[in-house]
Amino acid sequence: MRTTQDTQALPPPRVAIIGAGVGGLTLAIKLKQQLGYDNFTIFEKGHDVGGTWRDHTYPGCSSDVPMVTYSLSTEKHDWTHSHGFSPSILAYWQELATKYNLHPHIRLDTVVTSATWDDATKVYHIALENVKTGEASVFEAEVLVSAIGLLEVPRLAQIQGRDNFKGEMWHSARWPSDGEERLRGKRVAVIGNGASATQFVPCITEDPTVRVTEFCRTPNWFLPPIRIEYSATRRWIFKYVPFVQRFWRCVMYWRQELFYLMIFGNNTLHGLSTKMTTYYIKSAAPKELHEELIPKYPLGCKRVIFDTDFLKALYRPNLDLNWDGVGQIVEDGIVTQKGEKIPFDVIIFATGYATDQFPLKVRGIQGPIQDYFAEKNGPQAYRGTAFPGFPNFFTIFGPGAGSGHTSVVFTNETQSNYIIQLIKPILTRNVATVEVRHEPTDEYNEMIQKRLARTVFTSCQSWYRVGGSGKISSIFPGCTTVFWLSLRKPKWADYTGLGLEEWLQRRRRQNIFKWTVTMILVLGVVGTAGVVLRRNGVLATLKETWKRLRSA
């Protein structure tokens, strides 16, 4: 057993964070804010921070969550719109990285190829590769946090003949810098009609020379547009009047929680919401498309989309919707499942992400995390954060941590605060390892799967599910207030680790000592006050006054 002197002589434990997107930057900022801790390194495969908002450059890319909640709770910002566009959101996180001096801790253009736990030395051996030079290296860290999130690996639809196409082809998540120029005067196929497609299709069809055919599999539930541009007066008030922006953040948060109840609450609220969204689709879209555009599945089963003028764009003559299905891709176009061949110059995939596959190769005590997921019929974690058999390894926005109605930044903050509580005894070298137990992990996931089985998420295919129709692995079955409460403080009985029990016993003894001292001080103050009051005749006066009041 190391002595306190031995522990103090050791260098501070290293924290490795994978990803300099919203989750990774949030954790790094919290480590500095809450612990003053800076022995962390962020590995980022891209050329800059920002993650999703750096990579997503397609026209119209924006947040469907109000910016006052899609930002850190500790960081006020002068937003120009109620819902920000990708460039402004990216700039916000770049500014925070500079403000908190995170760049010296970030290794850009560096991809993590694997991470292996060494149980003898109690560290992760993290294999790295420079994406520009191909140079390989190894980094060791006592704590490993994956902040790559769910929306990391673009999913290309497995369509026959995809590699035979002679024209240009890309995924919306990898939009070329000159993409709009490349589309000018072209026949464009858009495969997919989810959130990304409904944002960029109205933008690219503003050019009448671009002829777009969008291949749709299932319709979406649309809600009215919500983005507004803030006036100069409103921005001044938010910026200079104390507490106003924080109050508005609180209002928006609870409005989003109410939105959850409207969509996922009881049958009455769900029925009312369905009627409202149906009315909006019928009022905004061309009448001849109503039958195809109104979904047959329950509202909320797939991601609900806030309209960004997509329905209005359906009136344009250079935009067609095709519901026949893609049969195969040929050299110069697409053959539908009905056998019709349509020629195209460009194919854009808007087919989402592989959310049911963890792209990072992490090996724990008993094997790779992919084997653990396969054993459980899909990804699962303890409270979306920890995994049994993987000491000192945690995820931000991991399995079961997603939300279909509110800010992922709130979720990231919640998990970051939780992770910091878990790793604090490791960083102070009071504990060597922290690992969640198998039993509570299984119990927790059985509980959320039972809840999910009673929700609309089981009613259709979606990216929330393994393979689109299997286990629901990406979503949390409740409002974010419940998620926050469940991660507010660790339930230490659900964890094990080298030195953890001894540390918990010491902490309990310290807490008992603190409470005892506090009670003694309080009783001493009360007793002293009583003696002083009695000696000065105050108590006698109070008693006499009380008697008079009662007799009156």
> What integer pLDDT is reported at residue 6 of this predicted model?
55
CB 89 within 8 A of CB 63: yes
> What integer pLDDT is reported at residue 552 of this predicted model?
61
CB 50 within 8 A of CB 94: yes
What are the Cα distances from residue 119, in Å, to 41, 113, 433, 436, 500? 21, 20, 10, 16, 16
CB 382 within 8 A of CB 438: no
Tokens 């009627």 sit on residue? 275
CB 180 within 8 A of CB 338: no
Q: Give strand ranges (E) for 268-371.
A: 305-306, 319-322, 326-330, 333-336, 341-343, 346-349, 362-363
> What integer pLDDT is reported at residue 484 of this predicted model?
96
> What integer pLDDT is reported at residue 303 of this predicted model?
87
CB 214 within 8 A of CB 193: yes
Sign, CA dihedral 379-385-387-390, equals: positive
Sign, CA dihedral 89-95-100-102, equals: positive
Sign, CA dihedral 484-307-252-33, equals: positive
The model's pTM: 0.91
Say which residues have a Cβ less than 8 Å from residue 163's Cβ, sequence separation at least 6: none
Query: Phi/psi at 183 (nearest 5 deg)?
Result: -85, -15
CB 128 within 8 A of CB 110: yes
Structure tokens at 221: 């539930």
> What integer pLDDT is reported at residue 44 of this predicted model?
97
Query: Which residue type, as a one-letter code, is found at position 135?
Result: E
CB 183 within 8 A of CB 58: no
Sign, CA dihedral 459-253-70-444, equals: negative
What are the Cα distances from residue 227, in Å, to 3, 39, 221, 317? 59, 40, 18, 26
Report CA dihedral (297, 303, 307, 310) to the nearest 10 degrees.
Answer: -70
Query: Which residue type, as a one-letter code, is found at position 396?
Result: I
Structure tokens at 183: 């589309």
Length of the chain in terms of residues written: 552
> What integer pLDDT is reported at residue 469 of this predicted model?
81
Which residue positions in the chain have pLDDT lower than 50?
1, 3-4
CB 138 within 8 A of CB 41: no
> What integer pLDDT is reported at residue 546 of this predicted model?
72
